[in-house]
Amino acid sequence: MKEVISEIFQKIPINRIFASIWLFACVFVILPRPIIKNLGMLEFKEQWQFVFSLSFIILTCYGIVGFVVPKVSNMIEKIQLKRKVPIMKQQLCGLTSELAVSISGGIA
């Protein structure tokens, strides 16, 4: 059994496995009781509800940390860069004009 599980983890990326588990847990957590009963899975849901809910919460947090946080930090870096670029341009123009003056003054 361990070999089969390790084969699966080697062939499929971990993010896809987590997404599949999250989707499965989401369906069982959110679907109403009558629909689950019609599917004939009410006993299964009642027996494993705690596991579904826990995996849903943990994988939602993993998704937020893994996807949303990098996007937000990237946006913050872009905003900070937009603020720094004009200041850097002014400093660079000041340096180039000082350099031009020193070079022309040294030749004369």
pLDDT digits (tens, 9 = 90+) for 58-73: 988 888 888 888 888 8
φ, ψ for residue 86 (rounded to 5)? -60, -35
The residue segments making up the domain with residue 47 are 2-107
Residue holding tokens 């599949």? 20
* Of the candidate ranges 26-30, 79-83, 100-104, the one whose mean pLDDT is the lowest: 100-104
39 vs 33: CA distance, rounded Å: 10
Q: Is the pTM of this model over 0.75?
A: no
Overall domain count for the chain: 1
pLDDT digits (tens, 9 = 90+) for 10-41: 888 888 888 888 898 888 888 888 998 998 98
